[in-house]
Amino acid sequence: MWKYQKFDVANLRTVNNETVVVHSPGLHNANSGPDFFNGQVSIAQVLWAGNIEIHVRSSSWYKHKHQEDPAYDNVILHVVWQFDERVYRKDGSEIPTIELQHWVSATTVAAYKKLFRNAANWIPCERDFSMVDDFTLRNWMERLFIERLEHKSGRIVQELKRTQYDWEAVLFRMMSRSFGSVVNADSFYSIATSLDFSLIRKCSGSRFQLEALIFGQAGLLSEEGADAYQVALWEEYNFLQKKFRITASHVIPPKYFRLRPANFPTIRLSQLSILYYEHKRLLSEIIDANTIADLHSIFRIAASEYWEDHYKFGIAGKPMAKVLSKSFIELIMLNVVVPIKFCYSSYLGKTADDIAFRIAGTMTAELNSIIKNFERIGFTATNAIDSQALIELKKNYCDKKKCLQCALGNQFLK
């Protein structure tokens, strides 16, 4: 209530009937120490600046032994729901206290309880979601889309630090994780991190050599081999392993369990190899691409010739080109391309929002259980901006009951 000022700010008074004007509620502190830093309030027309402490009951000040902690010496205001004891500083002066329950409307309390007691609902505001006005919803969706991009960019920044800002190496790691999808994301990422990206550059002139390097690191090759092609790849990998002194000791083995054949790790790793064989300047091509059509042309690839009639080594089947589907390409764009372009533009000091909105706005909305459930309660995603925003809303707000930090939750409390 204090953080979002959900009370009668115009007539606020302390328990001693002193007028209070809140200039700033302060910065919420999630760690030890007072609950809000650097607040500013006028009490009886005297301006105070300092920390603010929150308790359900004022007596908790002593139960928590704040009177013995120097971190609480500069608390200028005590905000409580129930006033049951006066609180004093070490010098004997009383800390001004607001008993907030007298300044919060019954309607607001009822709305708050309604949100947080709907445990059986898919999201707390499920029954009221369709009542949100379009202006509030659209503005919040745009903000959620950017937040999701910022979260994805956070992973990219971490990878940049690990690689001494080698953008190509980071792109390879992110691309590998995306090609692994949900089941093999960690496995493919471990394969990418087990290799210095300079080896990918050195082997990218040969499709066969690049495939041998990546399949070998994945642990999918053996000296016995299921057929001649697997044996040939093994021999090439054995040569590369000795030449470059590489190890796969920390690689997580890829899985086949519950995967459709088109998503088998053999197919996806071959497609990844072909991507880097055909696009040796992949980062530059992605950065320079300005339209969705340009990006689609980059990822219009297929697994190597051997995999046209194979899904696993040594098991032949009906011939079929193993091309990346439109839906898979768009997942790569959402999870890798757009975040990389967003992060790279920010790194150069350029505005990145326009790029992200332009690309995602022309992409089809994802179709998963989250998107389907939002459609059930009254909102249909029309493009990838909407679907990414809804995923961010569900995972980082609804699931965590952060209703007070949500524009929609705030509207329901009005």
Neighbours of 393 (CB within 10 A): 25
Highest mean pLDDT among 55-64, 89-98, 404-413: 55-64
What gap in Å lies between CA 290 and CA 315, rounded to an integer? 41
pLDDT confidence of residue 355 = 83
Tokens 């994301």, residue located = 185
pLDDT confidence of residue 22 = 97
pLDDT confidence of residue 130 = 86
pLDDT in tens, 237-288: 999 999 999 999 999 999 999 899 999 999 999 999 999 999 999 999 999 9
| Cα end-to-end distance, the chain, whole Å | 12
Contacts of 129-133 with C-beta under 8 Å, sequence gap 24+, read 129/374, 129/377, 129/378, 129/379, 129/408, 130/377, 130/378, 130/379, 132/408, 132/411, 133/411
pLDDT in tens, 82-97: 999 999 988 889 999 9
CA nearest neighbour of 3 among 34, 36, 32: 36
Q: Is the pLDDT of residue 127 over 90?
A: no
**What percent of the chain lies above the pLDDT cut of 70?**
99
Query: What is the pLDDT averaged over residues 384-390?
Result: 96
pLDDT confidence of residue 37 = 96
Please give the angle made by the CA atoms of 236, 237 and 241, to the nearest 5 degrees: 125
pLDDT confidence of residue 119 = 65
What gap in Å lies between CA 356 and CA 303, rounded to an integer? 29
Alpha helices by DSSP H, 221-337? 228-244, 265-278, 282-288, 292-298, 326-332
More confident residue, 119 or 41: 41
What gap in Å lies between CA 263 and CA 181, rounded to an integer? 8
**What percent of the chain lies above the pLDDT cut of 90?**
79
What gap in Å lies between CA 171 and CA 152, rounded to an integer? 13
Query: What is the pLDDT averaged over residues 336-358?
Result: 88
Structure tokens belonging to residue 42? 């006028």
Name 310's Cβ contacts closer than 8 Å, sequence gap at least 6. Answer: 266, 316, 317
More confident residue, 413 or 326: 326
pLDDT confidence of residue 142 = 95
Cβ atoms of 51 and 27 closer than 8 Å:
no
Alpha helices by DSSP H, 128-206? 134-162, 167-179, 181-193, 197-203
pLDDT confidence of residue 249 = 92
pLDDT confidence of residue 154 = 92
pLDDT in tens, 169-227: 999 999 999 999 999 999 999 999 999 999 999 999 999 999 999 999 999 998 888 89
Q: The whole model's pTM is what?
A: 0.79
pLDDT confidence of residue 60 = 96
Q: Positive or negative, the Cα torsion across 36, 136, 150, 343?
A: negative
Structure tokens belonging to residue 223? 């000296």
pLDDT, averaged across the chain? 93
Contacts of 128-131 with C-beta under 8 Å, sequence gap 24+, read 128/412, 129/374, 129/377, 129/378, 129/379, 129/408, 130/377, 130/378, 130/379
Q: Is the pLDDT of residue 120 over 70?
A: no
Cβ atoms of 211 and 265 closer than 8 Å:
no
Radius of gyration of the chain (CA): 28
More confident residue, 348 or 391: 391
Q: Is the pLDDT of residue 117 over 80?
A: no
pLDDT in tens, 20-37: 999 999 999 988 899 999
What gap in Å lies between CA 197 and CA 163, rounded to an integer? 10
pLDDT confidence of residue 131 = 87
Name 145's Cβ contacts closer than 8 Å, sequence gap at least 6. Answer: 356, 357, 360, 385, 388, 389, 392
What gap in Å lies between CA 345 and CA 244, rounded to an integer? 34
State which H helix or E strand residue 216 sits in: helix 207-217
pLDDT confidence of residue 274 = 98
What gap in Å lies between CA 208 and CA 191, rounded to an integer? 18
